[in-house]
Structure 1
Amino acid sequence: MPSRTGAALRAGAAAAALLLGVPATPAAAAAPGWSAAPAPGAGSAPDAAGRPYFYLEGRPGTVLKDKLSVTNEDKRAHTLRLRGQGAEGTWIAFSARTVKVPARTRADVPFTVTVQPDAAPGDRSGALVVTGGGHRSEVRMHLRISGATLSALSVEDVRVVRAGGGGGAAIRYAVVNRGNTALTPRLAVRADGLFGAVLRRDARTLPVQVPPGKRVRLTERWPDAPALDAVDVRLTVTARGGAHAVASAKYTAAPGWLLAAAAATALGAAGGGGAWLFRRRNRSRMASTESGARA
């Protein structure tokens, strides 16, 4: 039986912690008492090391089957709810949306994944979600839709703009996935000015994945862009499967004072030309008047 002195000391410590603004140590969250994993084979127990996620493969229009194991290690029964998650989560159908698992029991719940007839070949991902008793567990699912894959992309809307603040420029462009499989693009950049090369960047992998049919807008920083030059910028984008695209844009770089001087010169030339034209027309009118008077 704990002593009154020990209880008093603990109470005093808690009170001191509150006064000093130190939060009391929270109690550890209670374990859910159940777990979810892909169903094992041959009657063995679920083993996350051997089968950490679901892997299913099939052609468009096929129905794939598997089982989800829910193990209740608690001393009481648990009622759990099942659902799919992700873009392909709507393809998942369980034999029962709710399952009651008795104490010390494992339940294997069959489910199907119906691959849509118009689904494009390639890799997809999703998850099977189990919730109950205020807890949630996700079991990942990798789905490969077999069939002919097409890797194709395009580079669009390429333009070069002056960067604000620190100077330089920025190359803005869009990568569009024209195929039916997700692509991780690689980008190479080159730019040539009036007197030769001003930029060379070898191909590197971009930190983005472009799903089929999607457009991703990207920006390539160019801090040491020339301040005075006429430049042709060329982007080359590639990806696995032979995807390849090239696009280019022109960029005229000039300092602000030079642009202002050019504008002033142009305005001056236009004004001088207008004055000359006005004087010429005026002389023509006077000549016509004098000829009429003599007649």
Structure 2
Amino acid sequence: MLRRVPLIAALGASLALLGLGGVSPALAATTPSPDDVTWGVRTGDSAQGSGRQNYDLSVAPGGRIDDAIIISNYDEKALEVDLYAADGFTNASGELDAAPRAEASEAVGVWVTFNEPHISVPAGQAVSVPFSVAVPADVTPGDYAGAVLTTLTRDAATQGITVDRRLGIRMHLRVTGDLAPALAIEGLQVDYAGTPNPFGTGIATVTYTLRNTGNVRLSAEQSIVLTGPLGAFTAAAPALASAPEVLPGETWQVAQQVEGVVPAFALFTTATITPRLAPELLPPGSSPELADVTAQRVSPAVPWSLLVLVLLIAAVVVLVVWLTRRRRSTARAAEEARVQAAVDEALAIERERATLKA
């Protein structure tokens, strides 16, 4: 059953949801200009709470809860809106996004249902639309994400296309039961790029995949340290931004450059993450510590420019030695030839004298 609510309150909340008044929990497929905004959404007041920015719900397997979304029409004519829910995912910007309507959902997008999936909102008014969240009894405990969405489809005849605009509110749903927060580092790779300066340092590019192997959404603090053999020549990455919240089963790609890396032939890399629970999931006044997760890799860091310089120096030394020995050998051969010529000349004179005496 639809319920009308004061439009003034809904207007202020919807402006915030559209991102015009700060950071917003709302989801939109497009970013409308202020002149193009015709409707807005906010959470309804229910047994689950009031004045909420998004839906943070908890339900047991096989359980059901009821909630509501308020839709405000800022236009001068009635607004026809479809309502539906979709599963959520972490997008490339690290924010929670909702799957397209054409993409089949498996969790939140299926568990959320509306008594009236299509409504008409009178001009300048707001209505509260109830919906229910029914979780199957065989669902695995843990965190699930999605969004409650409203969509307005309009034909853009001048461009010959159909524009599907949607506006909604994020939903974080926890299915109660045994929780197992866990993150893993996978595919740690290190690529070293040297420098033409034979006595300079290079840059190492560290990449890895952060995977949520548990059933609770987690963010993570990160650090990367590189050393040479025996712990020498330590180089640490600058302060890394915390990884965004990663949903169970999802991954987040990390790539970080580390400067000032000494090419000591072998490069020992250690990546460390510290999992963090979402603040709203923690009991009041608590801050449980989750064990650090580390991954290590040994990779080559060959000082090619230094090796080339050493080889050039060695080649020059070898050439100098060879030329010196050759010059000495030539000089020795010339001296031996001169001595031999003198001996031969002396013998010839002696033979000539002996012949004259005879």
After TM superposition, the score normalised by the length of structure 2 is 0.52
1:256 is matched with which residue? 304
Give, in angstroms, the shift of residue 200 of structure 1: 5.0
1:237 is matched with which residue? 273
1:93 is matched with which residue? 113
CA deviation vs aligned residue, 1:88-146 (integer Å, no higher than 9, x gap): 23322110122234567654332112234324412624133143778956341433313
Contact 2:145–2:172 (CA under 8 A) maintained in structure 1: yes
Where does the alignment leave 5 or more consecutive residues of structure 1 unmatched? 1-27, 43-48, 262-295
d(CA) in 1 for partners of 2:234, 2:60:
46
d(CA) in 2 for partners of 1:252, 1:133:
57
**Pairs within 5 Å for 1:70-81:** 70-71=71-72, 77-81=78-82
Q: Which shifted more, 91-100 or 187-196?
A: 187-196
Q: 1:104 to 1:215 in 2, by over 3 A?
A: closer
d(CA) in 2 for partners of 1:174, 1:41:
40
Q: 1:197 aligns with which of 224, 232, 235?
A: 232
Q: Is 1:210–2:258 an aligned residue pair?
A: no
**Pairs within 5 Å for 1:27-46:** 29=35, 32=38, 35-40=40-45
Q: 1:224 aligns with which of 235, 240, 260?
A: 260
d(CA) in 1 for partners of 2:72, 2:166:
12
d(CA) in 2 for partners of 1:103, 1:137:
19
d(CA) in 2 for partners of 1:74, 1:172:
49
SS for the counterpart of 2:260 is: coil
CA deviation vs aligned residue, 1:219-239 (integer Å, no higher than 9, x gap): 221221112342322222221
**Pairs within 5 Å for 1:130-141:** 130-131=151-152, 138-141=167-170
Where does the alignment leave 5 or more consecutive residues of structure 2 unmatched? 1-33, 89-107, 156-163, 197-201, 277-288, 312-358
Contact 2:222–2:243 (CA under 8 A) maintained in structure 1: no
SS for the counterpart of 1:80 is: strand
Q: 2:145 aligns with which of 93, 113, 124?
A: 124
Q: Is 1:83–2:84 an aligned residue pair?
A: yes
Give, in angstroms, the shift of residue 35 of structure 1: 4.8
1:178 is matched with which residue? 213
Q: Which amino acid aligns with 1:244?
A: D
1:247 is matched with which residue? 295
Q: Is 1:143–2:148 an aligned residue pair?
A: no
d(CA) in 2 for partners of 1:76, 1:159:
58
SS for the counterpart of 1:224 is: strand
2:340 is matched with which residue? none
Contact 2:194–2:303 (CA under 8 A) maintained in structure 1: no
d(CA) in 2 for partners of 1:144, 1:89:
11
Q: Which shifted more, 136-145 or 73-82?
A: 73-82
Q: Is 1:114–2:134 an aligned residue pair?
A: yes
Larger radius of gyration: 2
SS for the counterpart of 2:232 is: strand
d(CA) in 2 for partners of 1:31, 1:195:
62
Contact 1:151–1:243 (CA under 8 A) maintained in structure 2: no
SS for the counterpart of 2:145 is: strand
Q: 1:218 to 1:163 in 2, by over 3 A?
A: farther
d(CA) in 2 for partners of 1:113, 1:239:
29
Contact 2:272–2:292 (CA under 8 A) maintained in structure 1: yes
d(CA) in 2 for partners of 1:106, 1:172:
49
Contact 1:160–1:171 (CA under 8 A) maintained in structure 2: yes
Q: Which amino acid aligns with 1:163?
A: A
Contact 2:235–2:261 (CA under 8 A) maintained in structure 1: no
Contact 1:36–1:130 (CA under 8 A) maintained in structure 2: no
Q: 1:250 to 1:111 in 2, by over 3 A?
A: same
After TM superposition, the score normalised by the length of structure 1 is 0.61
d(CA) in 2 for partners of 1:31, 1:189:
45
